[in-house]
Amino acid sequence: MKVKDFVERIKDISKKEINIMEFCGTHTHEIFRYGIREILPENIHLFSGPGCPVCVTAEEDIDYILFLSENYNFGIITFGDLINVPGSTGSLNYLRAKGKEVIVIYSPLEALNIAKKNKNKKYILVGIGFETTAPNFAYTLIKIKEENIPNLFFLSLHKLTPPAIKAILDMGEVKLDGIIGPGHVSTIIGRKGWEEVFNQYNIPFAITGFKPEEILYGIYLLVITIEEGKASLINAYKKSVKEEGNKKALDFIYKVFKKGPAKWRGFGIIDNSGLILKEEFEDIDIRKIYPVKIESKGNLLCKCGEVLRGVLKPPECPLYGRICTPENPKGPCMVSSEGTCSAYYIYGGNRWKR
């Protein structure tokens, strides 16, 4: 009922042809799962952005992990999504096949016990994710220091979302009329966390929840502002997102990390978009301990970069659905359940034209 009501209201007010991008991979996934593209009027076009942290992981970073494991015999501890992401010489799964230790965790805190129980081994905890997971890793790193665990090191692949949205808007490859803002990233950074981007680009922006009626509510509010020719920074997910975000979590992030450049798959290096460890954490910072520069060549046939920037839809990739499937992914966008290619494949196959 609720969903139908929102759809009716959107149909009533929506006249212009508009392009809206959802940044967040979970939104991409839920939009497909509930068939939201199909129930919206045809003049509303939804584009998927780069909001899947494993999908934007650069080949170099995967290659670096392989290099460390193979040459210095580190066990790798990280989230399951990262296991199948291809670098240019293989994936973490390929490491496993070669007999190396790759441990999947659900919470970064698990790494503490793994290292404590296996004192004769050394481990790298690979931290990945946007603002939503960075505080968890920050807290874990403080614990590593407090508990003085000598055999646990850290690699930060953490990235920040506002710089990526800026990069998309700067590139201007897709003309966007509105943005569906990520609900859980915003829970951490607050509505305030988007003010800088909003003030600079003046594009309608609605922070949105994840239930189908919440997604449609966000789209509805966006359509209203777009039709009125106005721009607002709307918080359509007030039940989780506060003006200032989660201050405690933000404090943890900036106790441990500082902003720095990060390489994004499909984008290259984006300034101030990465979280790197502060000097106080240098003794566990694997990049400081092994400052090796790795040059990687990407897979030329995988169109993930274009998919992540919203320029191509997955079925336009020559590998999609034939050579590249969720069971046998060739690119990161097919690996993670939050990836755009996997969402297309699982929920639609080739029938998505819009």
Partner 1 sequence: MCLGVPLKVIEIKDDNVALVDMGGATIEISTIFTPEVKIGDYVIVHAGFSISILSQDEAEEVLEILEKS
> CB–CB of 179/226 below 8 Å?
no
Under the binding rule (CB under 8 A), the answer on residue 50 touching partner 1 is no
Phi, psi of 91 (to 5 degrees): -125, 180
In terms of CB distance, is 250 or 319 closer to partner 1? Answer: 250
Q: Which two structure tokens, joined as six digits, stand for 111?
A: 């790494």
Single out the residue of 155, 167, 317, 343 in contact with ligand SF4 (rule: CB under 6 A). 317
Cα–Cα distance for residue pair 260/209, rounded to 1 Å? 29
Residues in the chain: 354
Single out the residue of 89, 93, 118, 240 in contact with partner 1 (rule: CB under 8 A). 240
Q: Which residues are within 8 A (CB) of 1 and not within 5 positions of it... i.e. 6 or more apart?
A: none
330 binds, among partner 1, ligand SF4, none (CB under 5 to 8 A by kind): ligand SF4
Within 128-157, which residues bind partner 1 (CB under 8 A)?
128-130, 132-133, 135-136, 139
Within 283-312, which residues bind ligand SF4 (CB under 6 A)?
302-304, 307
Please provide the DSSP assignment of 183-197 as one string: HHHHHHHTGGGGHHH
Beta carbon of residue 221, minimum distance to partner 1 (angstroms, whole number): 9
303 binds, among ligand SF4, partner 1, none (CB under 5 to 8 A by kind): ligand SF4
212-227 vs 25-33: helix axis angle to the nearest 10? 100
Q: Which stretch binds ligand SF4 (CB under 6 A): 71-79, 130-138, 163-171, 333-341?
A: 333-341
Other CB atoms within 10 A of residue 306 CB: 16
Please provide the DSSP assignment of 91-103 as one string: -HHHHHHTT--EE
Cα–Cα distance for residue pair 218/293, rounded to 1 Å? 43
Q: Which helix (H) or strand (E) holds 200?
A: helix 195-201
Within 60-89, which residues bind partner 1 (CB under 8 A)?
79-81
Single out the residue of 27, 166, 265, 330 in contact with ligand SF4 (rule: CB under 6 A). 330
Cα–Cα distance for residue pair 308/325, rounded to 1 Å? 17
In terms of CB distance, is 155 or 333 closer to ligand SF4? Answer: 333
* Interacting residue ranges for ligand SF4, rule: CB under 6 A: 302-304, 307, 314, 317, 319-320, 324, 330-331, 333-334, 341
Q: Which residues bind partner 1 (CB under 8 A)?
A: 2, 5-6, 9, 24-26, 29, 51-54, 79-81, 106-110, 128-130, 132-133, 135-136, 139, 184, 187-188, 209-211, 213-214, 217, 236-242, 246, 248-249, 252, 336-338
